[in-house]
Structure 1
Amino acid sequence: MSDSAREALQSQLQALNEKFAERLSDELAELEHLVEQLSQADEPEQRRQRMLDLHERLHRLAGTAGTFGFTALGQRSRLLEQSADGWLQAANPDPQLLVEFAQAVRQLATDAPLSDSASTSLDQPEAHEPPAAHRIYLLESDPAAGQEMCQTLGNFGYEVLLFQEIALLRTAMNGQLPNALIISRHDGELEQVSALQQTLESPLPLLVIDHREDFASQLAAVRAGAKGYFTRPVDVTRLENRLENCLNLQLNEPYRVLIIDDDVDLAARYSLVLRNSQMLVQTLTDPGELFEVMRTFNPEILLLDVNMPELSGPELAQIIRLNDDWLRVTIIYLSAETDVNRQMAALLKAGDDFITKPISDNALIAAVFSHAQRARSLSTALSRDSLTGLLKHADIKEHVALEVERSLRSGNPASVVMLDLDHFKQVNDQYGHAAGDNVIRSLANLMHQRLRRIDSLGRYGGEEFVAVLPNCTAEQARQIFDEIRQRFAELRFHASERTFNVTLSAGISATDGHASASTLLEHADQALYAAKHKGRNRIEIAQPK
């Protein structure tokens, strides 16, 4: 599409947005009128008809508002539409839900913006959109504090919906569940949220904000299921870090367990029990196939019988320990052997734990889960930077090399971005190293939220990062990281009673059909130096050599 055609289309889209904004006040007024009719309806059939009318209006608004740039309005309309649908489907609808629904619709009509602050953009290629944002429900009665938190978390890439009353939150959750809850605690609200959590199949990650920091208040939060507790004034970047950790735990892949036992039926039973606990399980009855299964399945936990035909469990465990790639695998012996000396001998040769048969299903699940959790944490600690959770220096360099090779084979572009925090030494000197660590962690989280799953991201050293973006030109990478640069500059960091902002600079290089990984990194570093030399807080693309 030519630049003139793109500009013409952009102008037409913006005109349509403005036209929708003009009619929006009539749409919202009609919603208020219908909800008043619903509240005044005495007969069940009248209430049902009014609810059908509201359902139709909300359905239409949910579909159109987001299209014309009113994203939050569209999302809230969708939630209310789903609540209306649930009420219509119920055999005996709860009268209280009807009251809360009506209140939520009135709130929607009152809060909705009547002008479009967003404009439709054609600049960002669809293939480079970040992953779908996590949806967060925030309960905060103070509108100013709530809006500030929404803006900051929005900069990190979260989709935050603000509710000022518990009834409105409950109505929204009846329509669609979020990925996590943030509750600003007031009298009675924590208890109501706790009761609401108990009605769910799986409780949502919950973060609590309170003006108190005493033991009793934090104990109440823990009993309500809180995974994080923050006192006012809230350091939102620290809150986001805890939120990121909670959501990452939810997204973790299932633990991988390999069972080696010559008793086929027993292995099948263990497998069934562990599979029902959401683990990935593979069984092996022929030890001769060990190497192939270890390479293809890559287990984290190995359940190993001690006495098997032709070889013993400890002998097989020692074979595994000969390979450095499998040193992180936790080996658990499962045996009817009760002699403590023989158990110790097996563990000393090669093993991490010894479980005596028979074992109950719950005991097996608990033992495997606890070991798997520990094994994964250890593996992550060895391969990931402890502060940010990103790849370490050597690992991200390896990702650069792999992506360059893939790009040369396929002919598709790939970009390497080297990024550095501006004047970071001054941050550490003025605000302390704890504040500096918080800045580094926040930038890592921001990039993790904004980049795609196929992108690789590593901490190159200190305050320097490297990102590898497959199927991405240098100009596309510049657009992506310029948005990250702008959002990062808007974050406010806290150190004691002081607040401050930090900026970043980045250099970008892209594959050109013959460049090596080391050359790409060198060119990105040179572009980063140019960005620093030109005044910082900017993105530069390496010039072709």
Structure 2
Amino acid sequence: MPKSKQLGTQLAALDARFRERLKGDLQALETLASQLQEKPETGSNLLTEMRDRLHKLAGSAGTFGYAELGSRCRELEEKARIQMAADNPDHATMMALCSAIPSLRSLQQSRLTKEPELEPQAKTDAALVDRRHIGLLIQDTALGLQMSHTLTSFGYRISLYKKQPEIAPDTKLDALIVDTSPQGYNMLQSAPFAERGVNAPPLLVISSQDSFISRLQAVRAGARGYFTKPVDLPALESRLERCFNTHQGGPFRVLIVDDDTDLAARYKLVLSNAGMLVDINSEPNLLLEKMHTFSPDVVLMDISMPEYSGPELAQVIRLNDDWLRIPIVYLSAETNAERQMSALLKAGDDFITKPISDSALLTTVYARAQRARMVSEALARDSLTGLLKHADIKEQVDIEIERAKRCEQPMSVVMIDIDHFKKVNDEYGHAVGDSVIRGLSNLLRQRLRKVDRLGRYGGEEFVAVLPNCGTRDAWLILEEIRQAFNTLAFTANNQPFFCSFSAGISGCEGPTWDTRDLLGKADKRLYVAKHAGRNCISGPQDGPQKS
């Protein structure tokens, strides 16, 4: 069955379940109204229950297509709220409220039939090809060849064009890099650039102009990166990788905290269909356990639940420092701006008024989850390279050692250091030195596997953790990367120069499973490679070698 048809069938089943529930809810409201009319003097508890039921219907009815019913329930809920807050409830108003309840049944027939709102699913790593196809639209032959060589070294597949018509309409590119210097920004105002849709591949712009207006023109053309000449190619490659890694770390994880199980089920179905992992918690007392086990990127929180309020639960979450970065989005039929602001000030990050359309739900959750993951990544990663920081990569070493022992699989640790890096800084300046560091980090990230862990250990030193990889295989992998790095051209004062690195490898494999201080052993072998003349790799079996 096609996915869209399957989603429609599932939504129809939820709609049918809600229709059955609606009959019981309306009957319960009519019973409460009748009891309140008979004994208004003892109606405090009855009025509270009526308000709660109206609130729940106000939030869910519109989502299931009963817009008029939801709107009317919201009006009656507000009237009930006013009476509950009054020191001396007005008898006439109370009776009018009770008399209005039976009219809700007529709105049960006024249902808007909706087709499921489908959003295109975002690409995930599993759907991407191993070698991304990058188009270079560059008239400068020397620059085009240099960029083609460098990006090929980083693992990309490159197609070089001098004029836009050379790009066939059916050419599938993962990104397009355009040099606007020869023709200026007029080329970006004409087709096909002006006709690029939201799903067009990322556009990066190269220019000889460094001004606010030129950057603004690039943004208006849809550019997601802007680089002035001479181009810092490692920085450009970092931006490319950032464009591709929106979903790095797997699908977004969403926790829904709502006592309305039918409404929560609908939200889950819509979000799951967009590729997200969704869990529902309808028992607030289990919230902390769910936060620990599920580790959500976003929490969707109903603002009003029996015995607990959404802001109270949000504040409970915020008591844990590890969860401060997680966005909490309130979902409620509450329309009073003052009460919404009060809820947000206590602990929330956003407020969406029910009913919410499927597309609006997806957009809000996706934007919040993406931003939260970016912030989390930024906190754990080095700002220059985007790699794990010192403490985090050391933690990954410990994690992979325990995994290797548990699964009885080999693993390797590699310590890498750029040769004569002080000389690079002294001769060309720290900005160029940063470019070299970024270049090696990008190359390592491109050539190593997704399961490998990579961090900047300090200065020009890096650590790579290779699970299920013996030291001999690790040596072969790093040797290939070493040779590629030797050919990577960096630029200073409009002149190219080249760098090298040395590395030391340690590992746990074989019958001894000696995992003590693998980082220390890798560091000692790194110094062996340095003393052997640099630009080589030292492993436990072979000693320093260079091909």
TM over 0.5: yes
User: 1:156 — aligned with what?
Assistant: 154
Q: Unpaired segments of 5 or more residues in structure 2?
A: 1-128
User: 2:379 — aligned with what?
Assistant: 382
Shift of 1:204: 0.5
Q: Unpaired segments of 5 or more residues in structure 1?
A: 1-130
Letter in structure 2 aligned against 1:134: R
1:182 aligns with 2:180: no
Which residue of the other structure, out of 531, 534, 540, is the alignment partner of 1:533?
531
Shift of 1:264: 2.8
1:165 aligns with 2:160: no
Shift of 1:531: 0.9
Alignment partners' CA distance in 2, 1:346 and 1:222: 36
Q: Is the 8 A contact 1:255 1:300 kept in 2?
A: yes
Distance 1:376 1:527, change over 3 A: same
Alignment of 1:29-40 (within 5 A): none
Letter in structure 1 aligned against 2:145: Q
Q: Is the 8 A contact 2:253 2:296 kept in 1?
A: yes
Distance 1:168 1:541, change over 3 A: same
Alignment partners' CA distance in 2, 1:243 and 1:258: 31
Alignment partners' CA distance in 1, 2:238 and 2:278: 32
Q: Is the 8 A contact 2:329 2:350 kept in 1?
A: yes
Which residue of the other structure, out of 197, 202, 205, is the alignment partner of 1:205?
202
Deviations 1:10-69 (A, max 9, x none): xxxxxxxxxxxxxxxxxxxxxxxxxxxxxxxxxxxxxxxxxxxxxxxxxxxxxxxxxxxx
Distance 1:487 1:197, change over 3 A: farther
Q: CA RMSD in A?
A: 3.1
Alignment of 1:380-529 (within 5 A): 380-512=377-509, 513-515=511-513, 517-529=515-527
Alignment partners' CA distance in 1, 2:523 and 2:341: 54
Distance 1:372 1:484, change over 3 A: same
1:304 aligns with 2:301: yes
Letter in structure 2 aligned against 1:539: I
TM-score, reference length from structure 2? 0.68
Q: Is the 8 A contact 1:258 1:283 kept in 2?
A: yes
TM-score, reference length from structure 1? 0.68
Shift of 1:344: 5.1
What's the secondary structure of 2:502's corresponding residue? Answer: strand
Using the TM superposition, name which of 462-471 and 180-189 deviates more. 180-189
Alignment partners' CA distance in 1, 2:217 and 2:337: 44
Alignment partners' CA distance in 1, 2:155 and 2:360: 41
Alignment partners' CA distance in 2, 1:259 and 1:301: 9
Q: Sequence identity of aligned pairs in percent? A: 55
Q: Is the 8 A contact 2:416 2:463 kept in 1?
A: yes
Shift of 1:363: 5.1
Shift of 1:360: 5.4
Q: Is the 8 A contact 2:230 2:494 kept in 1?
A: no
What's the secondary structure of 2:469's corresponding residue? Answer: coil
Q: Which has the larger radius of gyration?
A: 2
Q: Is the 8 A contact 1:400 1:517 kept in 2?
A: no
Letter in structure 2 aligned against 1:227: R
Deviations 1:90-140 (A, max 9, x none): xxxxxxxxxxxxxxxxxxxxxxxxxxxxxxxxxxxxxxxxx8222112223
Shift of 1:239: 2.1
Deviations 1:137-185 (A, max 9, x none): 2223344432222111111111112233323312xx51x4121112233
Distance 1:402 1:351, change over 3 A: same
Alignment of 1:138-157 (within 5 A): 138-157=136-155
Distance 1:482 1:332, change over 3 A: same
Distance 1:504 1:194, change over 3 A: farther
Letter in structure 2 aligned against 1:221: A
The size of the alignment, in residue pairs, is 413
Deviations 1:439-497 (A, max 9, x none): 21221111000001111111112211111112222122112111211221222223454
Using the TM superposition, name which of 452-461 and 491-500 deviates more. 491-500
Alignment partners' CA distance in 2, 1:166 and 1:189: 13
Q: Is the 8 A contact 1:329 1:375 kept in 2?
A: yes
Shift of 1:500: 3.0
Distance 1:410 1:278, change over 3 A: closer
Q: Which structure is higher in helix share? A: 1
User: 1:220 — aligned with what?
Assistant: 217
Shift of 1:526: 0.4
Q: Is the 8 A contact 1:401 1:517 kept in 2?
A: no
Using the TM superposition, name which of 186-195 and 199-208 deviates more. 186-195
What's the secondary structure of 2:187's corresponding residue? Answer: helix
Q: Is the 8 A contact 2:318 2:347 kept in 1?
A: yes
Distance 1:394 1:237, change over 3 A: closer
Distance 1:380 1:460, change over 3 A: same
What's the secondary structure of 1:299's corresponding residue? Answer: coil
What's the secondary structure of 2:245's corresponding residue? Answer: helix
Using the TM superposition, name which of 416-425 and 336-345 deviates more. 336-345
What's the secondary structure of 1:249's corresponding residue? Answer: coil
What's the secondary structure of 2:160's corresponding residue? Answer: strand
Distance 1:351 1:327, change over 3 A: same
Q: Is the 8 A contact 1:197 1:203 kept in 2?
A: no
What's the secondary structure of 1:444's corresponding residue? Answer: helix
Alignment of 1:332-371 (within 5 A): 332-338=329-335, 342-343=339-340, 345-359=342-356, 364-371=361-368
Alignment partners' CA distance in 2, 1:416 and 1:485: 16
Shift of 1:432: 2.5
